[in-house]
């Protein structure tokens, strides 16, 4: 690969979020400041949305506010694949990810370790730059880790079976056990409307947007219970269009492994801190995307 293609460009800056470093820093500072003090910190993992910042930037701040940058040395970013169908997980061919604030280097040693398992493929740089689910977290990571040494481990997560979610959960569990690692699980929640081919509506729950919230909250409660099988059953029953369901499934399986193999009585808790919708659906012609922010704490 040519040297210039070892850098993954910030292809969504200037559209999904500002490409002005000054303006970006100002926005992120404001959103983080509006959260107030951390309430579920230090986060070992967070779940946060990946839409345009005008829609979800304020919501994502509730997750990132729980991160203690003095602890974190490495950030794993698990993002769903929106455009390319893969049956496993893929790693980037790049060495560096660019952001408007500064460049974030990929942890080459961790990449080597992951490749050595035989369960990771390499995506093309074009696939990498076309995907937004990882990139949308980079400015937040760069902001909270400013003036600190940090590497990133971007992972594109495909359409995994429950067996593969368990497999990757097992692989990542040892990294989740390390307090110097932060896991960022990239996911929006319900995509509702004809354009998303999903219009589940229980009228007993009120207006459509209230039904969507109730549906999302059911899923969030199951995620908080840290049950991989419960989350799988919920998705099968309702078909909720949570785009990061597979990264979430991997996290839940990694936690499950830690709970099984840890003998020193770690207390593991996951808590959702914020929920939002891009708009309030009132009729079947409307559409919306839901966003949620959560923090996983291991004591």
Give the model's pLDDT for residue 19: 97
pLDDT band at 260 (very low <50, low <70, confident <90, very high): confident
* Segment 172-176 mean pLDDT: 97
pLDDT band at 29 (very low <50, low <70, confident <90, very high): very high
Indicate whether 4 pLDDT > 90: no
Indicate whether 80 pLDDT > 50: yes
Phi, then psi, of 89 in degrees rounded to 5: -125, 150
pTM for the model stands at: 0.96
Give the model's pLDDT for residue 145: 98
Alpha helices in the chain (DSSP H): 21-35, 53-64, 108-116, 125-130, 138-144, 162-176, 208-224, 228-238, 245-261
What whole-number distance in Å separates Cα of residue 118 and Cα of residue 115?
6
What whole-number distance in Å separates Cα of residue 165 and Cα of residue 245?
10
The top-level CATH class assigned to 3-298 is alpha beta
* Segment 192-206 mean pLDDT: 98
Contact 96, 106 (CB under 8 A): yes
């Amino acid at each position: 690969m040519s040297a210039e293609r070892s850098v993954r460009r910030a292809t969504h800056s200037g559209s999904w979020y500002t490409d002005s470093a000054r303006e970006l820093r100002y926005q992120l500072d404001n959103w983080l400041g509006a959260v107030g003090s951390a309430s579920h910190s230090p986060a070992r993992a967070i779940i946060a949305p990946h839409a345009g910042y005008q829609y979800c930037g304020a919501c994502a701040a509730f997750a990132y506010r729980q991160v203690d940058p003095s602890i974190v040395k490495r950030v794993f970013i698990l993002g769903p694949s929106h455009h390319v169908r893969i049956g496993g997980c893929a790693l980037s061919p790049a060495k560096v990810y660019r952001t408007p604030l500064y460049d974030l280097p990929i942890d080459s040693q961790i990449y080597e370790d992951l490749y050595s398992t035989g369960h990771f493929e390499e995506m093309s740089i074009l696939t990498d730059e076309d995907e937004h689910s990882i990139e949308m977290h980079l400015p937040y990571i760069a902001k909270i880790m400013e003036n600190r040494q940090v590497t990133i481990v971007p992972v594109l997560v495909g359409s995994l079976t429950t067996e593969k979610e368990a497999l990757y959960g097992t692989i990542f569990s040892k990294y989740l056990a390390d307090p110097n690692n932060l896991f960022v699980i990239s996911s929006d929640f319900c995509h509702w409307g004809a354009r998303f081919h999903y219009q589940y509506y229980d009228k007993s729950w009120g207006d459509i947007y209230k039904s969507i919230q109730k549906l999302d909250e059911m899923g969030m409660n199951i995620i908080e219970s840290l049950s991989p099988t419960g989350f799988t059953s919920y998705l099968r029953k309702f078909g909720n269009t949570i785009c990061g369901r597979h990264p979430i499934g991997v996290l839940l399986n990694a936690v499950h492994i830690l709970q099984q193999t840890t003998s020193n009585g770690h207390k593991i808790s996951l808590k959702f801190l914020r929920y939002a919708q891009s708009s309030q659906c009132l009729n079947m012609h409307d559409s919306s995307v839901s966003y949620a922010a959560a923090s996983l704490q291991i004591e």
